[in-house]
Amino acid sequence: MSTLHSSVKVGPYTFAHRVVLAPLTRMRAEPGAKPGPLMAEYYAQRASEGGLLIGEATIAAANGNGYLGAPGLFEDSQIAGWKRVTDAVHAKGAKIFLQLYHAGRQSNIDVQPAGSIPVGPSEILHGGVAYTTEGWVPNTPNRALQIDEIKALVESFRTAAERGIKAGFDGVELHGANGYLVDQFLQDNSNKRTDSYGGSIENRTRFLLEVTQALISVWGSDRVGVRVGPSGTWGDMGDSNPEVLFSYVAQQLAPLNLAYLHLIEPRILGNIEDENANPAPIAAQLMRKHYKGTIIAAGGFNGESAEAILQAGDADLVAFGRHFIANPDLPERLRQNLPLNAYDRPTFFGGTEVGYTDYAFHAVAATA
């Protein structure tokens, strides 16, 4: 048996295989940022006996969205929709972790409450786009957060995590990558603060650690994961010394007894492969030096490269994105070395069941 299809322990859970559904922004939530039946069907399709799914980026605070159609857990009214999703996943014998995020400066006033200005660590002009009723539009220039607002956002993550328990999730992951708010605090091209949340690496890591501890206070450390993107540049991000920064992040997270550390390889920009990046999985290789707990690697993997990183010991599980979108039965296809459906990039974000729940399972495709 391959390592990819061997059992693995993650926090209090034992999984039958190491093929993880990556958290994938699909923007199919109903009005009010509420998951509907279509989302429940999508996740149920990708659930397998003994498998792990990580839910898509879910808004933790009312001002935390950057995409029309993204789901939330910043209000109690959103719990029921997510409970429909988790029940559907559990019925298939799988577990699902909630991923919480705040878009920060990666937003537009059209998806902000009452048309308010997006927030971030510092007021810095940058590129990037948000998704609104007008489609993909430039981000609105943000304002800098005040200290009391930062404290309030930490509390927002904590209360969203509490709602996640009521919604039936099995754990929670903090999204600290992809140019969103936590990442904006970490990297020094987006964080020019001179207070306790800026300047030194220790200060820039403070927000990530405070939110992580807030999630731990709700879930316990062994059901909390953290996702980061070492050397990630998506969203006009960058740092003057990323290796030192993210090594420090790993060192600070290592003693917390987390369920896992989830790493995005820099060879992926958003959902597109960066042809100029190192094709090898360098993020996991770097972070393994400082983090001996469970690591999930993500970013451009196929069955062969996933097996290789597991064999090398740099990761313990591998999260798949684009291939899992197009192949709801991906774990079984990889186990049997079956051909994969091609993914349709134009239907990744927003829309209907097309490119969402209409991809064929292998048995269906074989008899069509």
DSSP annotation string for 172-231? EEEEE-TTSHHHHHHSTTT----STTSSSHHHHTHHHHHHHHHHHHHH-GGGEEEEE-TT
H or E stretch at 60: none
In a domain, 339, yes or no: no
Contact 262, 296 (CB under 8 A): yes
- Write out the residue range of the structural domain in which residue 275 sits: 3-298+309-318
Classify residue 330: in a domain, yes or no: no
Rg of the chain in Å (alpha carbons): 19
The predicted pLDDT at position 282 comes to: 75
Q: Where are the beta strands (DSSP E) in 16-107?
A: 19-21, 52-59, 95-101
pLDDT of residue 233: 83
Residue 353's contacts (CB-CB under 8 Å, 6 or more residues apart) are 38
What is the distance between the alpha carbons of residues 46 and 329, in angstroms, rounded to a whole number? 6
pLDDT attached to residue 274: 54
Q: What is the pLDDT of residue 272?
A: 58
Give me 163's structure tokens: 């709602």
Q: What is the CATH number of the domain that holds 35?
A: 3.20.20.70
- Cα 53 to Cα 236: distance, rounded to the nearest angstrom: 28
What pLDDT sits at residue 270?
A: 55
How many domains, the chain?
Answer: 1
| Residue 250 dihedral angles phi and psi, to the nearest 5° | -65, -40
Active-site position among 42, 67, 180, 291:
180
The answer as to whether 329 is a domain residue is no
Tell me if 334 is assigned to some domain: no
CA 239 to mean position of chain CA atoms? 20
Low-confidence stretches of the chain (pLDDT beneath 70): 267-281, 364-368
Domain contains 349: no
Q: At what angle do helices 206-219 and 147-166 cross, to 10 degrees?
A: 30
On whether residue 127 sits in a domain, the answer given is yes
pLDDT at 281: 66
- Calpha distance 302→292 (Å, rounded): 24
Cβ neighbours of residue 250 closer than 8 Å, sequence gap 6 or more: 261, 287, 289, 290, 291
Read off the amino acid at residue 316: D
Q: What pLDDT, on a 0 to 100 scale, did the predictor assign at position 364?
A: 53
> Number of C-alpha atoms within 13 angstroms, CB side, residue 362?
14
User: Would 343 be classed as within a structural domain?
Assistant: no
Site of tokens 């990442």: 183
**Residue 294 to residue 317: CA distance in whole angstroms:** 8
100 bridge partner residues: 58, 174
User: In this structure, what is the dihedral angle of CA atoms 142, 146, 152, 156, given to the nearest 10 degrees?
Assistant: 20
The pLDDT score that the predictor gives to residue 276 is: 52
**8 Å CB contact between 170 and 202:** no
**Confidence (pLDDT) at 368:** 41
Residue matched to tokens 């992580």: 212
pLDDT at residue number 265: 87
Please state, in angstroms and rounded to a whole number, the distance separating the CA atoms of residues 29 and 320.
21
115-170: per-residue pLDDT in tens?
A: 999 999 999 988 889 999 999 999 999 999 999 999 999 999 999 999 999 999 99
The one-letter amino acid code at 346 reads: P
Q: What's the one-letter identity of residue 333?
A: R
Q: For all residues of the chain together, what is the average pLDDT? A: 94
Residue 180 annotated in active site: yes
**Residue 324 maps to a domain:** no
Per the CB < 8 A criterion, the answer to whether 270 and 177 are in contact is: no
Give phi and psi for 181, each to the nearest 5: -55, -45
What are the pLDDT digits (tens) for 222-268? 999 999 999 788 888 999 999 999 999 999 999 999 999 999 987 65
- Tracing tokens 């990819």 back to the chain, one arrives at 4
